[in-house]
Amino acid sequence: MNMRKYTPVFGLIAVIIIFQLVTTAIGREFYLTQLTMSAYYCLVILGLTVLMGYAGQISMGHAAFFAMGGYTTAVLTTCNLMNVKESLFVKLLGTSGLTIMEKNAYGAEILHLSPWISLFAAVFVTAAVAFLIGIPILKLKGHYLAMATLGFGIIVYRIVLGTRLFGEADGISDIPPFKIAGSLAVSGDPAFRVQNYYIAAFLVVAGVILLMNLIDSRVGRALRSIHGSEEAANAMGVNTARYKLFVFVLSAVFACIAGVFLTHFNGGIGPSEADVMKSVTYVAIVAVGGMANLWGALVMGMTLNYLSLRGYFGSFDEFVFGSILIFIMLFFPEGLLKMGNFRNLARGLARLKNKYSADKKEG
Partner 1 sequence: MSFLEVRNMCRSFGGLRAVDGVSFAVVKNAIKAVIGPNGAGKTTLFNLIAGSLEPDSGEVRIDGKNIYNLPPYRIARNGISRTFQNIKLFSHLTVLENVMIGRHIRSRSGFIPAMLHLPRSRREERDIRERSMEILELMDIGDLADRDAMSLPFGKQRILEIARALATEPSLLLLDEPAAGLNLYETAQVSEMITGIRERGITVLVIEHDMSLVMNISDEIVVLSSGRKIAEGVPTEIQKNDEVIRVYLGEDDA
Q: Where along the sequence are the contacts to partner 1 (CB under 8 A)?
A: 210-211, 213-214, 217-222, 224-225, 227-229, 231-240, 246, 250, 292
Q: How far is the CB of 225 from partner 1 (least distance, A)?
A: 5
**SS3 for 193?**
helix
Q: Which is nearer to partner 1, 294 or 324 (CB)?
A: 294
The answer to whether the beta carbons of residues 171 and 268 sit under 8 Å apart is yes
Q: How far is the CB of 207 from partner 1 (least distance, A)?
A: 10
Q: Which is nearer to partner 1, 173 or 239 (CB)?
A: 239
Distance, in Å, from the CA atom of 273 to the CA atom of 264, rounded to the nearest integer, reads 14
Distance, in Å, from the CA atom of 65 to the CA atom of 127, rounded to the nearest integer, reads 9
Q: How far is the CB of 174 from partner 1 (least distance, A)?
A: 35
Q: Which is nearer to partner 1, 82 or 232 (CB)?
A: 232
Q: Which is nearer to partner 1, 12 or 238 (CB)?
A: 238
Q: Which is nearer to partner 1, 239 or 344 (CB)?
A: 239
Distance, in Å, from the CA atom of 103 to the CA atom of 22, rounded to the nearest integer, reads 38
Q: How far is the CB of 139 from partner 1 (least distance, A)?
A: 13
- Tally the C-alpha atoms within 13 A of residue 331's C-alpha that lie toward its C-beta: 12
Greatest alpha-carbon span in the chain: 93
Q: How far is the CB of 54 from partner 1 (least distance, A)?
A: 9
Q: How far is the CA of 96 from the CAs of 113, 204, 292, in angstroms? A: 11, 30, 43
Closest CA to 284 of 341, 323, 317: 323
Q: Which is nearer to partner 1, 124 or 316 (CB)?
A: 124
What phi, psi does 85 have (nearest 5°)? -55, -35
Q: How far is the CB of 45 from partner 1 (least distance, A)?
A: 18
The residue count for the chain: 363
